[in-house]
Amino acid sequence: IKKHREVNLPEVTQQDAVCPASIPSPGLSAQAGLQKIWGAIHCQVCPGAPAWPGLPWHEEMGLLLLVPLLLLPGSYGLPFYNGFYYSNSANDQNPGNGHGKDLLNGVKLVVETPEETLFTYQGASVILPCRYHYEPALGSPRRVRIKWWKLSENGAPEKDVLVAIGLRHRSFGDYQGRVHLRQEKEHDVSLEIQDLRLEDYGRYRCEVIDGLEDESGLVELELRGVVFPYQSPNGRYQLNFHEGQQVCAEQGAVVASFEQLFRAWEEGLDWCNAGWLQDATVQYPIMLPRQPCGGPGLAPGVRSYGPRHRRLHRYDVFCFATALKGRVYYLEHPEKLTLTEAREACQEDDATIAKVGQLFAAWKFHGLDRCDAGWLADGSVRYPVVHPHPNCGPPEPGVRSFGFPDPQSRLYGVYCYRQH
């Protein structure tokens, strides 16, 4: 009674309780009524406790049942809560026709999701498969509740995506207007996400709720992308964590996760400068151990400085950019350009000057191979090499950098980006 103050009943302790025979039944006050309840419970353990005079047996039983009902969580009016308020009225009308609230006695609810990771790219649409069935199969359909949410990862909070009951559904946050259930076949509750964003990758849970029974499955979504190290125009180790997030966003990317950096290391990424990752740890990938990079005695791998202060400590950053819907190209121009002239030249060609993330994605996924250095949106000068050849830098594939030259220098071309 103290816990559920919404009931607004007077407080009664066991010391106030008296056996029912000592309380007159007509015109009970609230205080006296509660004393009767406590007394009734207390006197159940007293052999020969007298009955309440003048109180019919069914009213006695009603009062005895009141206390456990008051102590039940949710018994004072709140519906079942599972990240979304559900009304049970639709399920309680016709017990026995597949919409009752009885447990599925002897029947198992099974949710099926794919074990393999799904890969897609930014701006695309993707379907996260999820189906359910009963073992053994049921003869009549049942009304179920569906909930999709994105799991917490790398310090990011858990996000509700969509909930549905029958044809009614609701989406949340950044997913509003971009998600819906397929439901093309019976027991199909797959989720379609449209216009995928960089932050959409991660693990999603599909939960099916049938009365008091619920089962769920996981779907892992990865965006096809490329990890690249980024350094401030002011030099090495100039970015705190928040500034790292900002510069990655400015280059059409996000801060890379450890899993993305590890995958890039497996594909050959070797970089001796430490950089921020999405979980605010600082790490760097080494393929060829050497003296300036932890020493030649250490095995190849991803070296870690561990978590660092997001505001006080400064490093470089590892960014992650996904495959493009558009096209990056080197603009054929009769003259070399300053940075300002490079921006204007792309605009005149119905395009924009390319970002660093776009150039890396074009190199990785579209095979952009060009030995001409060109301006990019951040003021750096770079060029992509897929097939190394003489007079074009080191013998390994990659995106070469000239750093951040004087914006007024007229020594370079420009890389432009045109969206399809």
Taking alpha carbons only, the member of 198, 244, 262, 229 closest to residue 398 is 229
Domains 225-321 and 324-419 share a fold: yes
Rg (CA), the chain: 33
Instruction: Report the pLDDT value the prediction gives residue 292, as an integer from 0 to 100.
Output: 85
303: nearest Cα among 287, 315, 314, 291 = 287
Residue 90: predicted pLDDT: 36
**CA dist., res. 346 & res. 349, Å (int):** 5
* Region of poorest pLDDT, from 68-82, 102-116, 354-368, 369-383: 68-82
Average pLDDT over residues 286-293: 91
pLDDT band at 31 (very low <50, low <70, confident <90, very high): very low
Residue 416 has pLDDT above 50, yes or no: yes
Residues 6+ apart with CB under 8 A from 8: none
Q: What percent of the chain has pLDDT over 90?
A: 60
- Cα Dmax for the chain: 110
Q: Which carries the bigger pLDDT value, residue 420 or residue 118?
A: 118
**pLDDT score of 154:** 66
Contacts of 256 (CB under 8 A, 6+ apart): 227, 264, 277, 278, 318, 319, 320
How confident is the model over 62-85, as pLDDT tens digits? 444 443 433 444 333 333 333 333
Is cis: bond before 47, omega within 30 of 0?
Answer: no
Angle in degrees, 0-180, between the axes of helices 57-71 and 30-43, rounded to the nearest 10:
90
Give the per-residue pLDDT at 83.
36
Check residue 348 and give its pLDDT.
97
Report the alpha-carbon distance of residue 44 to residue 361 in Å, rounded.
77
Per-residue pLDDT of 86-145, as tens digits, reads 333 333 333 333 333 344 578 899 999 999 999 888 888 999 999 999 999 988 888 899
Residue extents of the structural domains in the chain: 108-223, 225-321, 324-419
CB 52 within 8 A of CB 21: yes
pTM equals: 0.66
pLDDT at residue 9 in the model = 38
Q: Is the pLDDT of residue 34 over 50?
A: no
pLDDT at 201: 87
Once rounded to an integer, what is the mean pLDDT over residues 297-302? 92
Per-chain mean pLDDT for the chain: 80
Q: What is the DSSP pairing of strand 327-330 with strand 413-418?
A: antiparallel
Q: Which has more confidence, 184 or 57? A: 184
Q: Which residues pair with 162 in a beta bridge?
A: 148, 171
DSSP string, 208-225: EEETTEEEEEEEEEEE-E
pLDDT tens sequence across 49-65: 444 444 454 444 444 44
**What is the sign of the dihedral through the CA atoms of 319, 324, 326 and 331?**
positive
Query: How far apart, in whole angstroms, are the C-alpha atoms of residue 369 and residue 392?
Result: 11
Q: What is the mean pLDDT of residues 167-182?
A: 92
Q: Residue 295: pLDDT above 50?
A: yes
Q: Which CATH superfamily is domain 225-321 in?
A: Mannose-Binding Protein A, subunit A (3.10.100.10)
Fold of domain 108-223: Immunoglobulin-like (2.60.40)
10 Å Cβ neighbour count for 85?
A: 10
Q: Which CATH class is domain 324-419?
A: alpha beta
Q: Output the pLDDT for position 164.
A: 95
Q: Is the dihedral of CA 135, 137, 138, 143 positive or negative?
A: positive
**In 3D, which of 126, 162, 128 has the Cα closest to residue 145?**
162
Question: Which residue do the tokens 């216009």 mark?
Answer: 195
